[in-house]
Amino acid sequence: MDISLQQVGYSYAKGTPFEKKALYVVNASIKSGSYTAVIGHTGSGKSTLLLHLNGLLKPTEGVVRIGDVSITSDTKAKELKMIRRHVGIVFQFPEHQLFEETVEKDIMFGPLNFGIPEEEARQRAHELIRLLGLPEDVAQKSPFDLSGGQMRRVAIAGVLAFKPSVLILDEPTAGLDPRGRKEIMELFNKLHNEEGLTTILVTHSMEDAARYADQILVMHEGRSVMAGTPEEVFGNAEQLKSFRLGLPRSVAFQRDVEKLFGKQFGTLALTEEQ
Ligand code: ADP
């Protein structure tokens, strides 16, 4: 499912004294099957942008196209709901939204709500428990008895249970330890590679952006200011610096970017990690 944003603007609480413009001009084109990382300083509009990609927000200006559906300020709620069936979103700290008595019920909740028969939903829940590397016996446990990393996986399974064709990830590894972070990122990479899931990742980690994404979109003060392959974007360190995005000096980043460039990255102007 191709996605595009044309001249998208968004104001929170429009028409009230609390009106706050969060997006000014955003243009982006995300091809079906691609892996896009959205980077930008805090407050640059990344989360607001994501909420437009599964119909939770409608643009106040411009057009968001998701597959065949065009969303403008006039789009009706019913059409937005259809989009949510195809575009899954993993919010920050998604485990905060777990609420059912058992892990199985939590994963089944979404599919049942969309009218999928119970047995099919249960089978899907068990497949996802395996896919996410959770022990089989978690199915009947309360999600609240699991470790933080396991709860995160259950919440992710709940999103995957819809079988979305687009997966949106808002800092999906926030708060996890380095090992948990790597495991989750590798899992998303596998889903992207093996299932052809269009993946859109908001991240503060330039390492993850360099390692996993094939396209990078840079946001700054509510505007899309750079877009391109990791080579193109990270190769322009000076411009990134002007958007308050310093490239990390970590060995892992250097190694990944060197691989992309096929040459020593040390020749590029590196800036201090934020
Ligand atoms: P990011 O995800 O890049 O940190 P956000 O999309 O969260 O950026 O925020 C963009 C701008 O919109 C910020 O100035 C932020 O304060 C504002 N904003 C975000 N959410 C709301 C909201 N619910 N109401 C009003 N303003 C908001």
Nearest CA to ligand 1 atom 18: 22
Nearest ligand 1 atom to alpha carbon 40: 3
CA–CA separation, 227 and 65 (whole Å): 18
Task: Let me know if residue 102 belongs to a domain.
Answer: yes
pLDDT greater than 60 at residue 270: no
Nearest ligand 1 atom to alpha carbon 44: 3
C-alpha of residue 102 to centroid of ligand 1, in Å? 34
CB-defined site of ligand 1, < 6 Å: 12, 20, 22, 40, 42-48
Predicted confidence band at 84 (pLDDT cuts at 50, 70, 90)? confident
Residue length of the chain: 274
Nearest ligand 1 atom to alpha carbon 48: 6
Nearest CA to ligand 1 atom 24: 12
Task: Let me know if residue 274 belongs to a domain.
Answer: no
Ligand 1, from 11, 16, 20: best to mutate by most atoms within 8 Å of Cβ?
20
Query: What pLDDT is recorded for position 266?
Result: 46
Terminal alpha carbon distance of the chain:
35
CA–CA separation, 49 and 52 (whole Å): 5
The arithmetic mean of pLDDT across residues 48-72, rounded, is 95
Structural contact between residues 108 and 137, judged by C-beta atoms closer than 8 angstroms: no
Q: In the chain, how many domains are there?
A: 1
Structural contact between residues 26 and 49, judged by C-beta atoms closer than 8 angstroms: yes
Query: What pLDDT is recorded for position 267?
Result: 42
CA–CA separation, 87 and 27 (whole Å): 19
C-alpha of residue 220 to centroid of ligand 1, in Å? 12
Cα 243 to its chain centre, rounded Å, is 21
Task: Let me know if residue 219 belongs to a domain.
Answer: yes
Task: Let me know if residue 163 belongs to a domain.
Answer: yes
pLDDT greater than 50 at residue 259: yes
Residue ranges making up the domain that contains 108: 3-267
Ligand 1, from 5, 8, 10, 12: best to mutate by most atoms within 8 Å of Cβ?
12
Q: What CATH code is carried by the domain that includes residue 256? A: 3.40.50.300
Query: What pLDDT is recorded for position 262?
Result: 66
Query: What pLDDT is recorded for position 258?
Result: 73
C-alpha of residue 157 to centroid of ligand 1, in Å? 27
Query: What pLDDT is recorded for position 249?
Result: 78
Ligand 1, from 24, 38, 48, 221: best to mutate by most atoms within 8 Å of Cβ?
48
257 C-beta neighbours (distance < 10 Å), count: 23
Nearest ligand 1 atom to alpha carbon 219: 3
C-alpha of residue 138 to centroid of ligand 1, in Å? 36
Q: Which amino acid is at 253?
A: F
Higher-scoring residue by pLDDT: 82, 204: 204
C-alpha of residue 199 to centroid of ligand 1, in Å? 22
262 C-beta neighbours (distance < 10 Å), count: 7
Interface predicted TM-score of the whole assembly (ipTM), two decimals: 0.98
**Which token pair is 272?**
């201090």
C-alpha of residue 47 to centroid of ligand 1, in Å? 7
Predicted confidence band at 263 (pLDDT cuts at 50, 70, 90)? low
C-alpha of residue 133 to centroid of ligand 1, in Å? 34
- This prediction has a pTM of 0.91
Higher-scoring residue by pLDDT: 246, 167: 167
Task: Let me know if residue 124 belongs to a domain.
Answer: yes
Q: Which of 105, 106, 87, 88 has its CA nearest to residue 97?
A: 106
Percent of the chain with pLDDT over 70: 95
